Every structure is written in C-alpha cells, then in structure tokens.
Chain A
Amino acid sequence: MSLSAPLVLGIESSCDETGVGIVRGTELLVNAVASSMEEHVRFGGVIPEIASRAHLDAFVPTLSAALKEAGVSLAQIDAIAVTSGPGLSGALMVGVSAAKALALATGKPLYGINHLVAHVGVGVLDGGALPENLGALLVSGGHTEILQVNSLTSDVRLLGATIDDAAGEAYDKVARLLGLGYPGGPVIDALAKEGDPKAIRFPRGLTLPKFIGTAQEPGKHRHDFSFSGLKTAVARCVEQYQKRGEEVPVADIAASFQEAVVDVITAKAVRACTEHGLNNLLLGGGVAANSRLRELLAARCASAGITLRVPPRNLCTDNGAMVAALGSQLVSAGVAPTGLGFSTDSGQPVSLVSLLA
C-alpha cells in the first residue's frame, strides 16, 4: 500500500444519495452516485424508509459501475471507508452493512467515518492539501454547521449548528408553502432573481443580543442557527395575503426568504471565523450550489480577509468520493481502521472523525 497515495473506496448512504467513490491519495478516480430524489418529490421531503429501500437496490449496481469506470479491481483497493454517521439511521445501515461485507470479502481495512468531516475532506480532491487556520461552513438539507478544522484527521470542532431545521430543510418547507415543489433550493434561488429581497423583512434567527452576546462574553447561541421561526414567518405572511384576497407575491417572498437565510448564515460564518483566527473557509453541502449564498459569502469573506474555497458542485452534494477522500487522509495519517464491529451513529459528533476500533 502506498501511504502517501492510498487507493481508497468510499461509500455514502446517510440520506437519499447512494454514493461510491474511489480516490488515489488526493486524485479523484470516480464519483458514482445514484439518487432516490425523484421518489421523494411527491412528499416534499426525504422519506427515510423510501431512501433506505432505494439504497439497497442501488448499492451493488453503483459499486459495480464505479469499479468499472475507474478501471480498478477490488483486489487493488488499499482501504474502504463508509459514512457511519451522522445521518438517517436506516439509510446508514445499508451502506455500513455493504461496506462491512466488502471489507470482510476482500480483507481490506475498514474505516467508519464522519459524514460532516467528509464534506470538508473532499476539499483535498480540488486543489490538494487543505490550508491551516481552516473553518468550514456546511449547508444542506440535513445540516447547517460551522466547523473549526485544526486537523482533518484528528481535531475537528463544532463552533455552531442549527438548533432546529437545517437551511436546506427550510428551503424545502417554504417551497412547499409556495407550491413550488421539491427540492426547494434551486427553484427558490431561480425565482428569487425575479423578486425584491427587501420586499419583506423576515426574521434572522438567533441574532438578538441575548443569543449573540459579545466576543468576550459570547451568548449561548452566538454561532448557532435557527430556521423554524423563519419558515413560520413565511407561512404567516402567505396567510395574510390570502386572507386579504390578494395575490401572493411569490417571487418577492422567495427573494426575501432567501436573503434572510443567506444573510444570517454568511454573517455568522464570517464572525465565527474571525473570532477563531480562521482565515480560510471551505463551503460544503448541497446548498453550496445556491447562487446568492456563494455571492454574499464571497463578498463578506473578501471584506474580512478570509480566503473562500468552494469545491465543484458534484463534490459538495452527498457523494462517495468525499468519504474516500477522508478515508485516504486517515490512512496516510496512520489512523487505525475501525474494523467490522461498529454501530452506525446517527448523531456522530464531528469530534469523532473516524470511529475507534
């Protein structure tokens, strides 16, 4: 095995994407993803049981396609990595069971790794080694977190997180309210371009002084997020228009909602970085595709002297390559594999980059 550039296969099944990726060190060989997104559209959100069923059906075909496309045989793989959490329990178990079977059949070392840290680790596939003094902002349908990455393989800390809905979840719920279908992110982003972001002043969650405090005496939720109140505010707003018998200004609501989300996310991320001496920020998660988030985050990072790094879109959404990328870094760092006996951990903290044996 090459310790500097190990050949690692990564498996992801924490939500509705079945991903198998293969990397050699920091080089991406293949990123095969099957998604059950279409099956969730009529529900307006991911249904865990439907996602789990889809993972079972998609796993072996996705694995087979990935190996073929990379021109790699299982015997050549140096190690296997799989998302052990956080995520949907039943969905995680499909990927973990398959990964264990693969490790058992091939005799290769297996790492149970952290999904959120993998969103950071994927950065090595686009521009090589990660910089020092690194923060990460992860925004998706399941997560909204600010991380401090002292060491990708051994020291990751949670600076802030949502206390209720994830940002992407808020997009989905608001899209449902506005009759825009699922997923909500792309359609609201597109519609927002036709609306006035200042038309309605929606609340910015956890921005009151009692939550924020000061840099010296931080409030309890200084770097945390909350989006459920915003979602309710949008619902009340829509109801007011309907009660008055007026047409609902969908584009203005979409633009104003998006501005509220993006404003609070970017402001808090930049403040958290500044106060922790982090002059590099990596953006990850599916919502990283949002045009307004990228625009405002880039502007605010530039003003604060923070260098922003955003991996390509297909590496920001859930995928197996990010799991392989983190796995490869763990192998290179000499971290011991997890083995076959671990459980999935739907609430795995970021401090657990990989599970201990």
Chain B
Amino acid sequence: MLLLAIDTSANASTALLRSRGTVIEVLGSCTSERGNDHSEVLASAIESLLADASGQRPEAIAVGVGPGPFTGLRVGLATARTLGFAWDVPVHGVVSLDAIALEAAADNPETDFVVAIDARRKELYWARYSSSGLLMDGPHVSVAEELPALPVYGAGAGLYAERLVASGATVVAEFADAHPGAVALGTRALRALASGEALEGTEPLYLRESDAKVPAVMKGKLL
C-alpha cells in the first residue's frame, strides 16, 4: 500500500511510505523545522514527494490529529481531508504522540513511559504508553508536575527537564528534542492497517476550548 503521511502538530512533516506485507519502505519525507510555516510549505512538500514517486496516487492518507497548537494542526487536517476527498481515498487519524511513542518503544524501555510535547502556556500535551508502545492513558494537557513518575520521551521532556525530575519523572536525553514526525506516524498507521487495528477518525484533539469569554453585556448586566 502506498500511504501519504502528514503531521502538523509541531512541525510541518510529510512522508510517502510503501508497505509490502510487513515490510515498510520510506519513499521520501520532508519536515520543516521552522514550526510556524505549515500552511506555506506543506502542499509544496507533498507535491515534490509525489513527483519523486513518479506521480503515483496514494491509496490512503494518515494524518496526525494532535494534540498540538490549533492553527498548525488544522493545516494538516484540512490538507489531508481535502486530498482524501479529491483522490477518493480513506483518511486515517493517528494520535500525533504515537509517532514519538513508536520510536520510544524501539528504545526498549523497561516500564510504561510517557510522551510529552510542548502545549505552550507552560503546559505539556502528554500520554502514557506501555513499554511496547500501546496508548494506555491520555492524551492530556497539564503542567509538568502532573505527569506520572516515569521516563518521559519527547520535546516536552527537554523543555521542562528540571521540573519533571523534581516531581519524580526521568528525562530520556536522546529524545529530549523529539517532535512527532510523518515517517513514524505513517509507519504506525501502516502497521495498524496491516494488523487489522482500527484507526481514529480525523477529529482534532484540541484538548482546550477557545479562550473566548462571554462578555458581561451579553449576560444582560448593563440593561
């Protein structure tokens, strides 16, 4: 199966992967490290991946559904959903943190572990995984102190290393600047599809409401 993977929960990241049985081949990938240029670069990046693959049309799309900063996240979702509609191919949602968890599980952790990325506003998006990389709990959004006392993988660990250690967690140094990437996300999706595991829909995991407050005048306070 030829699969296009997209994740914009942190950086704009896309990859084209092919699976034959259990063998997964990465045909190409592209990740922008700028973190604020998702809508600008994503479509061109996909276009060049497809051109390198002689214009073959993907048979499915996997997209990271977050959690992640809202505006960037929507760029990936709008792109994936629209490509799915135009190509008439299925679009599968994958929790973006799963991409880091897949790589973390390959590190053979001895216990359950946590994947955490920056949620801004001095908080982390995080989830707890089994040592084999199965999602056990989450994703959540909270301050660093609320994470379980377990090894923490991902850029969120690097960001709040001292506070995590102070509250009993450990920081996995090699993963301290890891962001969700489309290669791992696509790999995760292809493995799930091969084993018949159901994937998520493409509803974004915002985890926070908009900040809007109902103004006092709308509650009839003035008149």
Task: List residues of A whose CB falls within 8 A of some B CB.
Answer: 42-44, 47, 49-50, 52-53, 55-56, 59-60, 63-64, 74, 89-90, 93-98, 100-106, 176-179, 182, 238, 248, 340-344
Q: Which of B77, B79, B86, B222 interacts with A106 by CB under 8 Å?
A: B86
The stretch of B40-48, B146-154, B191-199 in contact with A is B40-48
Whether A104 touches B43, Cβ cut-off 8 Å, given contacts A49-B210, A49-B212, A238-B223, is yes
CB <8 Å contact, B39 and A343:
yes
The stretch of B25-33, B68-76, B132-140, B169-177 in contact with A is B68-76
Task: List residues of B whose CB falls within 8 A of some A CB.
Answer: 37-44, 46-47, 50, 70-71, 74-83, 85-87, 204, 206, 210-215, 217-218, 220, 222-223
Q: Which residues of A contact B85 (CB under 8 A)?
A: 60, 63-64
Nearest Cβ on chain B to A210's Cβ, whole angstroms = 33
Residue among B77, B204, B222 with the highest chain A CB neighbour number at 10 A: B222
CB <8 Å contact, A176 and B215:
yes
16 pairs, CB–CB < 8 Å, chain A vs chain B = A43-B215, A50-B212, A55-B78, A60-B81, A94-B74, A94-B78, A97-B76, A98-B79, A101-B82, A102-B82, A105-B86, A105-B87, A179-B220, A238-B223, A341-B40, A344-B39
CB <8 Å contact, B71 and A60:
no
Q: Which of A60, A64, A97, A340 interacts with B75 by CB under 8 Å?
A: A97
Q: Which of B44, B80, B204, B212 interacts with A47 by CB under 8 Å?
A: B212
Interface of B is mostly: helix
Nearest Cβ on chain B to A56's Cβ, whole angstroms = 5
CB <8 Å contact, B78 and A56:
yes
Q: Which of A50, A60, A104 interacts with B210 by CB under 8 Å?
A: A50
A-B contact count (CB 8 A): 123
Nearest Cβ on chain B to A278's Cβ, whole angstroms = 36
Q: Which residues of A contact B47 (CB under 8 A)?
A: 104, 340
With CB as the reference atom, state the residue of chain B lying closest to A40: B212
Q: Could you list 16 further interchain pairs (A-B, Cβ under 8 angstroms) beyond the known A93-B39, A93-B74?
A: A44-B218, A49-B211, A55-B74, A56-B204, A59-B81, A60-B81, A89-B71, A90-B70, A90-B71, A93-B75, A96-B39, A97-B79, A98-B78, A101-B86, A104-B47, A342-B40
With CB as the reference atom, state the residue of chain A lying closest to B73: A56
Q: What CA separation (Å) do A47 and B210 show in the bound complex?
A: 8
With CB as the reference atom, state the residue of chain B lying closest to A103: B43
Q: What CA separation (Å) do A146 and B151 show in the bound complex?
A: 61
Top-8 shortest CB links A-B: A105-B86, A100-B43, A49-B210, A101-B82, A179-B223, A97-B78, A47-B212, A340-B43
Q: Which residues of B contact A177 (CB under 8 A)?
A: 217, 222-223
With CB as the reference atom, state the residue of chain A lying closest to B85: A60
Q: Which residues of A contact B78 (CB under 8 A)?
A: 55-56, 59, 93-95, 97-98, 101
